[in-house]
Structure 1
Amino acid sequence: MDLRQLKYFLVIAEEGQITSAAKRLNMAQPPLSQQMKMLESELGVQLLERGSRSVRLTEAGQVLRDRAEQVFELLNTTRRELKDFHAGIRGTLSIGTVASLGVALLPAYIREFREQYPQVTFQLWEGDTHRITELLKSGVVEIGIVRSAHDEEIFHSISLPAESLAAAVHRKFGDIITDSRYLSLADLKARPLSIHRRMESLILQCCIQAGFEPEIVCKGDDVRSLLAWADHGVGIALIPRSAVDLVPTAHLHFYELVNPRIELPQTVIWRKQGYVSAQARGFLQKITDIVSGSP
């Protein structure tokens, strides 16, 4: 398996057809098909399910596609790192973030950073904390923004101000809708709740502290899905305060939860080992300045 074969494979995966992939690669179809058969033979797995007009990735093919994308991103990162020695703070910065922070928190940091360094562009990768840490370890991204705990032996970190948990309440639950900005956690007793899977332990602990065991109707990995369910009246979604504007809606009322107030950690992390690009160093310094209140 070499980079040329991986490139061929990725183009086929993107095109969904060997014919159109061959055209895009400026080569004939038979040699391209032969290269894929050689790759499958070498790896000992089937990568493509071939139809009369299209191809579809097998489960093994999907794994190889993900790895191949990371390989080429790592190559691009390496090229950028080498150019950094002479180029200064410019180029592309790859950042991994959990979805809600990528929408609500990150843009403000990006705006302030680009006012000082307008020649920097960005690659954004989203996922849960586990995916972000894996992308950091593999070198696909340089900076991660996560909510959950991280390995302090592997990563440096900057703690951001904690964020409160909010409730997205459909108007069908009219008996608890008020003009207040706040809602007591106890008001959610015997109500169907939708929660982020990684927040389950914290939410359970706080609900017990408030005197009840929560009725959880859904656990998910993306707050946008939880909000979509809540928008259809399927449970009350418990989400980070920054996520309230992720899904346009006229059906939901949003409240910050109190008694007790539930706070979610937010942390910027990066590898202790390995090269840190000029743009990453500049971005980390900007975040440090913002958090400390420095001009």
Structure 2
Amino acid sequence: MEIRVLRYFIALANERNISKAAESLHLTQPTLSRQLKELEDRLETTLFIRGNREIILTESGYFLLQKAKEIIDLVDRTEHNLSESSGDIQGQIAIGCGETEGMRIIAKTFNNLQSKYPNIIFHLYSGNADDVSERLENGLLDFGLLIDPADKNQYDFIKLPYQDRWGILMRRDSPLAHKDVIYPSDIVDQPLLVSRQSIVDNQLSGWLGRSINQNPIVATYNLIFNAAIMVEEGLGYALCLDQLIDTSSNQTLQFVPLDPPLEANLNLVWKKSQALSPASRAFLKELRHNLIRYP
């Protein structure tokens, strides 16, 4: 597959109209149609169906669209990172992270680096550890921010001076709201909202002293914001990390930590086999410098 044709396909998927897509690409409609038909023939599948008013992607078309965007993103970042001029460091840095207050360490490093090298662009991808690890493996991210427990065997990493604390997000009028800490016995048979990450399930099961699946799991979540809304509506208790939801200004929700305390270290990781761009090397240098003086 040619990169150029993948860009054509993405344009068609965005416009959902062959004429508009051709216009946006500065191509004639017959030329675009021929290129896309050759793409379908090469892949031996139907990518889209012409509807009465718009183009409709098939299941194969949606799959290709996702992969095409990933490929184009990787190509664009690679080209950008190779286009250094006059010794000035420039390029793009893509980092994936879950929700954590420890992101402030990375943000401060980005800020310092950008003041030195204003032509560096940062791309943030939010997701859980499974999402971030997959994108790292596929070369779509330069770095990932992973919360322990995490399998770091395939990565080089820097342990950051920050720990996240686990607890329960609940309504202020819930039966457990008066407690200063939450013990395992407090949430026996309570409806829980839990992270979808299997490695987190293992950690929480260890704290509970039994499988977390013995509790009624009413929902799983990827990122906590929408789960917090479900807690507000009375669906149950969310097992989550502290400081991700601002409960100080929220009249409905409060966070109560677990006891015994359950804390998680934070790591910046990157693939061992990965060739780092000048921008990425500059970022690591700046991060290490900041960590020396980090309070």
Question: Normalization by structure 1: what TM-score?
Answer: 0.85
Q: Distance in 2 between matches of 1:253 and 1:226?
A: 14
Contact kept in structure 2, 1:89 and 1:117, CA below 8 Å: no
1:48 is aligned to: 48
Shift of 1:127: 2.4
Shift of 1:3: 1.5
Corresponding position: 1:106 with 2:107: no
Q: Distance in 1 between matches of 2:86 and 2:272?
A: 23
1:1-295 alignment, distance < 5 Å? 1-84=1-84, 86-98=86-98, 100-101=99-100, 104-118=101-115, 119=118, 120-147=120-147, 148-152=149-153, 154-160=154-160, 161-173=162-174, 175-178=175-178, 180=180, 182-198=181-197, 199-208=200-209, 214-245=215-246, 249-258=250-259, 260-293=260-293
Shift of 1:290: 4.2
Percent identity at matched positions? 25
Q: Distance in 1 between matches of 2:80 and 2:27?
A: 29
Q: Distance in 1 between matches of 2:268 and 2:38?
A: 43
Q: Distance in 2 between matches of 1:185 and 1:291?
A: 35
Q: Distance in 2 between matches of 1:85 and 1:272?
A: 27
Higher helix share: 1
Moved more, 42-51 or 215-224: 215-224
Q: Distance in 2 between matches of 1:66 and 1:176?
A: 43
Contact kept in structure 1, 2:109 and 2:283, CA below 8 Å: no
Shift of 1:122: 0.7
Paired amino acid for 1:114 = N
Shift of 1:151: 4.6
Q: Distance in 1 between matches of 2:222 and 2:294?
A: 35
Give the secondary-structure state (helix, strand or coil) at the position aligned to 1:132. Answer: helix
Give the secondary-structure state (helix, strand or coil) at the position aligned to 1:176. Answer: coil
Give the secondary-structure state (helix, strand or coil) at the position aligned to 2:258. Answer: strand
Contact kept in structure 2, 1:70 and 1:140, CA below 8 Å: yes
Structure 1: runs of 5+ lacking an equivalent: none
Question: Normalization by structure 2: what TM-score?
Answer: 0.85
Contact kept in structure 2, 1:207 and 1:213, CA below 8 Å: no
Cα distance per residue 1:239-272 (max 9 Å; x no partner): 11132239x85321112222x1122232211122
Shift of 1:162: 2.7
Cα distance per residue 1:22-72 (max 9 Å; x no partner): 121122223222222221111011211321111232222222122212222
Q: How many residues align?
A: 286
Contact kept in structure 2, 1:167 and 1:237, CA below 8 Å: yes
Cα distance per residue 1:197-240 (max 9 Å; x no partner): 2222211221127xx95332222323223222112110101111
Give the secondary-structure state (helix, strand or coil) at the position aligned to 1:276. Answer: coil
* Residue 59 to residue 270, structure 1, CA distance change in 2 (3 Å): same
Shift of 1:108: 4.3
* Residue 242 to residue 284, structure 1, CA distance change in 2 (3 Å): farther
Q: Distance in 2 between matches of 1:294 and 1:256?
A: 25
Paired amino acid for 2:103 = L
Contact kept in structure 2, 1:91 and 1:121, CA below 8 Å: yes
Q: Distance in 1 between matches of 2:46 and 2:173?
A: 50
Structure 2: runs of 5+ lacking an equivalent: none
Shift of 1:9: 0.3
Contact kept in structure 1, 2:145 and 2:268, CA below 8 Å: yes
Contact kept in structure 2, 1:172 and 1:233, CA below 8 Å: no
* Residue 137 to residue 2, structure 1, CA distance change in 2 (3 Å): same
Give the secondary-structure state (helix, strand or coil) at the position aligned to 1:45. Answer: coil
